[in-house]
């Protein structure tokens, strides 16, 4: 397995619209998924999108069975591999909450997201996924899927008085844990 370098905001590859996954249950796809989980774990990520490691595919991973030191008070999200996702908001209600990003290290911002969503797509074997979620789970999915359309969370921040350095906003989370 390989821990990949995560692209940082400013890299033009993060602004592309990713291509759909067309070949499922291949050695290459399974290796990519393993590498993405290894990379995400190495940096305490809540999720990771393939474009963040320079792979131009509609593939995101998220979740863990363990508490995340970057988001210690958040509920657990089941480990998931999601290819070619489609997000459908369920209702008009939005919630604003703090987000960070492995591609925007050391910063956090309050971001509006749909409160409740349905997401569909496929696992790496090509089997359908169809879930209805809310709260932190919904936020993580929306954040990761934004990477597939070339959006980083600062592009969604509405109030820049609610955007700043993690070590200032959340002194209990060290800068090393947020890079």
Tally the residues of the chain: 179
Distance from CA of residue 22 to its chain's centroid? 21
Give the whole-angstrom CA distance, residue 179 versus residue 104.
8
Residues carrying an active site annotation: 144
Sheet holding 47-49, edge to edge: 47-49, 59-62, 80-89, 116-122, 128-134
| 125: CB partners within 8 A, 6+ apart | 24, 25
The phi-psi region of residue 91 (left if phi > 0; otherwise alpha if psi is between -120 and 50; otherwise beta) is: left
Give the whole-angstrom CA distance, residue 68 versus residue 88.
27
β 94-101/116-122 pair status: unpaired
94 beta partners: 114
Distance from CA of residue 12 to its chain's centroid? 18
């Amino acid at each position: 397995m390989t821990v990949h370098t995560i692209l940082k905001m400013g890299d033009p590859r993060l602004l592309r619209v990713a291509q759909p996954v067309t070949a499922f249950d291949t050695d290459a796809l399974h290796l990519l998924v393993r590498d993405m989980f290894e990379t995400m774990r190495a940096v305490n990520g809540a999720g990771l999108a393939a474009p963040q490691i320079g792979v131009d595919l509609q593939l995101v991973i998220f979740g863990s069975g363990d508490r995340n030191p970057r988001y210690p008070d958040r509920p657990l999200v089941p480990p998931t591999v999601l290819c070619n996702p489609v997000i459908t908001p369920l209702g008009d209600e939005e919630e604003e909450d703090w987000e960070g990003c492995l591609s925007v290290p050391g910063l956090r911002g309050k971001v509006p997201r749909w409160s409740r969503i349905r997401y569909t797509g496929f696992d790496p074997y090509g089997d359908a996924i169809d879930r209805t979620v809310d709260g932190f789970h919904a936020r993580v999915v929306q954040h990761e899927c934004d990477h597939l359309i070339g959006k980083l969370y600062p592009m969604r921040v509405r109030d820049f008085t609610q955007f700043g350095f993690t070590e200032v906003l959340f002194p209990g989370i060290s800068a090393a844990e947020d890079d």
